[in-house]
A = this chain, B = another copy of it.
């Protein structure tokens, strides 16, 4: 279905409740639907927003267009969890219902301030000539999950920044509020992370300037910047759209990357001793707009949109699209991020079955976790979500002698964005054993490699009867498969 601009921006009150009820049922009944990940109640989900810990529970919101698989008029939908794994839906939290967010309550962050949660987000406004003004907006969420928007914008893009100015992350340092915001310099059409400061939060915002973190250009726009502390190191996570592949290689239509440093200078807007060369946060096909924050326990947690801008997915014909990743606990090791499942993921585990590398196939179902240990001198292919004779399925190819690992989804059902390749690879140390922790949720795979040194996240849309896993030849390996419960 082709969506016209009018259809995409039709006010929510002009859609009928019957249409929405049918869309909600359609999403819930899809055979591709995830059962232990945050997925849209209906329509399209994109960026995670407002990831936070408040009122004794975890919160995450997601960007939603509830009326189909299109990037239409966006709102924030609200989820809470006691443990970062079991999420409950609280429905519509931020609707596009003011002049300032009339064309979308776009992405943003959340921060506990006193006894309320402050939401800072971008209001997308277009005038009658479809000229855009991006307003940076604020709202309060109380303990009853009721939202009260501020009457006035916090600030707008200064003259030197184009209409591409969005996705604020609210920070606090030395009793001042800071925000980093994705920005495009008007003259150069280059992307930047822009730093702002205020003593007051709701007023008095002033631009500090672009964050100095890369000597090379970030491309034409930088979306969804996050600054977090990971084991004492500042880490910038961001989406440098149009990044020159000579600067850092990536294969997805848009990358989601990170830089590390030794310190962050808020006054000078500088990542001290930046790693300079951004690194792919996820080595799979479908991660974008990751949002990370430091929890009260000091740990850094991240959650990602599994989906990419400007791509279509097979569920578009079912009028829904995308999901959020599982939450990943972040750690720092030798200038690199480690990403690990959170502890409560183990609470999803049900029945377990062990296997070894002589097993040609094992029935996994479509909702499971699999850990695999492969010896240091082995080469072969692990099939996942496969036909029983392994004639189709996700292919995880490994050679622990040379340290090669790749995932091929070209034989795993309906194609997804084939123009951007069907294989993703990572380079590992040679002659080392390989450890995988694989999570499958119907049409989503998250493959943690060597205790989180890499993670490959991807969607696939196979025949629901392809519920097998196995090696195509004898491999010196052993592993366990757990059935996972619904969240």
A interface list, Cβ under 8 A from B:
11-22, 24-25, 28-29, 31, 35, 66-67, 78, 82, 86, 88-93, 95, 144-146, 485-486
* Residue among A78, A89, A91, A146 with most chain B CB within 10 A: A91
Are the CB atoms of B22 and A17 closer together than 8 Å? no
Q: Quick one: closest B residue to A347, CB to CB?
A: B485
Given A86-B486, A486-B88 in contact, is the A18-B28 Cβ separation under 8 Å? Answer: no
Known: A29-B144, A82-B486. Is A21-B67 also a contact (CB below 8 A)?
A: no
CB-CB under 8 A for A95 and B18, given A90-B25, A144-B29: yes
Q: Report 29 cross-chain contacts, Cβ distance below 8 Å, ordered by A residue.
A: A11-B18, A12-B16, A12-B18, A12-B21, A13-B16, A13-B18, A14-B16, A15-B18, A17-B17, A17-B20, A17-B66, A20-B21, A21-B91, A21-B92, A24-B91, A25-B78, A25-B90, A25-B91, A28-B89, A28-B145, A29-B90, A29-B91, A29-B144, A29-B145, A29-B146, A31-B144, A35-B88, A82-B486, A86-B485
- In the complex the two chains form, is B486's CB within 8 Å of A28's CB? no
Nearest B residue (CB) for A19: B17
Chain B residues, CB < 8 A from A21: 12, 20, 66, 91-92, 95
Inter-chain CA distance A282–B128, complex, in Å, is 62
Residues of B with C-beta under 8 A to A78: 25
CA distance A486 to B18 in the complex (A): 29
CA distance A90 to B12 in the complex (A): 22
Q: How far is it, in angstroms, between the C-alpha of A66 and the C-alpha of B92 when the chains are bound?
A: 16
Task: Say how far A63's CB is from chain B's closest CB, in angstroms.
Answer: 15
Q: In the assembled complex, how far is the CB of residue A58 from the closest CB belonging to chain B, in whole angstroms?
A: 13
Question: Would A92 and B16 count as touching, CB distance under 8 A?
Answer: no
Q: Using Cβ atoms and an 8 Å threshold, which residues of chain B touch A16?
A: 12-17
5 further A-B pairs in the complex, CB-CB below 8 A; given A24-B92, A25-B91: A12-B18, A13-B16, A28-B90, A28-B91, A82-B485
> Nearest Cβ distance between residue A68 and chain B, in whole angstroms?
12
- Chain B residues with CB under 8 Å of A89's CB are 28
CB within 8 A of A92: which of B22, B82, B92, B95?
B22
